[in-house]
Amino acid sequence: MKSVTHLAIGALTYTNYLMLSGNKIDILDIPIVLTFSVLPDIDISSSKISSKLRNIPLNLIIYGVLSIFSLIILYMCLVKQSISYYYILSVPAMIVFLKLFSKNKTLKKISLSLFFVFLYYIFYKYSKVGSTKNIFLFLAVLPYFTHRSLSHSIISVIIIAVTLYPLSMTDTLKSYYTAALISYSSHLFLGDIFTKKGIKLFYPLSKKDVSFNVFKSPKIYNNLDTPFLIIYGIFSIFIFLNFFAK
């Protein structure tokens, strides 16, 4: 499943949650939803599909994640002023890593892992976020697993839920927790599980692929990206109208 489809599914799922719950959106919910909707595919560099997608550089995915995390760090640092200015140093550091190691897949994995370890250290040293920082250690190991295994399992959802749980204990951060958990789960349970390949839902207890293969025709399945992209555009309009309401 293409990343744009996962983005659309995550965005639409969170939109439904907002409409049913009556909650208002925080502007930071947007990059969180976009990030966690595609986050399970952080293991894609170790998958067979990555070789078939060689015409789409993996760097685009990495830089996309970097850009979103950069926006989050800058927003939390400059706007909300809830974290130290030291966080900004992680942005140029990651750019240097990506530039040096962009031509080697193994080094890409190492540089990405080092980046997440660095973020963990920053959060450990200069913030009081409790177990939330442990999510970076989890992300640091995911690139070394085969595609649609650990990152696409129930255990990964539990890890995300547990590590980010402290956010739900604070009223101002509760929506971030909900956005992350819903969008990450949508990737698995409303996305890849409906593909022919499916996902290793019970990994590492079982390596069997679980699939509710609804779309038998690859042509029909691939063409779903266009309407999803259109719906995603409608979602974006909804987001801004809802945010600037009142």
Cβ distance 86 to 122 under 8 Å? yes
Between 50 and 206, the more confident residue is 206
d(CA 86, CA 126): 8
Q: Which residue has the tokens 């963990």?
A: 120
**Given its phi and psi angles, is residue 169 left (phi above 0), alpha (psi -120 to 50 degrees) or beta?**
alpha
Mean pLDDT, to the nearest integer, of 33-54? 63
d(CA 212, CA 106): 33
d(CA 11, CA 237): 12
Q: Which residue has the tokens 């409303």?
A: 190
- For residue 181, is pLDDT > 90? yes
- For residue 215, is pLDDT > 60? no
Confidence grade of residue 56 (pLDDT, cut at 50, 70, 90): very low
d(CA 9, CA 27): 19
pLDDT of residue 198: 86
Q: Which residue has the tokens 């696409």?
A: 152
Confidence grade of residue 169 (pLDDT, cut at 50, 70, 90): confident
Q: Which residue has the tokens 């649609």?
A: 148
Mean pLDDT, the chain, integer:
75
For 185-231, the DSSP string reads: HHHHHTTGGGSSS-B-TTTTT----B-------HHHHHTTHHHHHHH
CA 38: distance to chain centroid?
A: 4
- For residue 227, is pLDDT > 50? yes
pLDDT of residue 52: 38
Using DSSP's 3-state secondary structure scheme, residue 35 falls into: helix
Confidence grade of residue 154 (pLDDT, cut at 50, 70, 90): very high
* pLDDT > 70: percent of the chain: 66
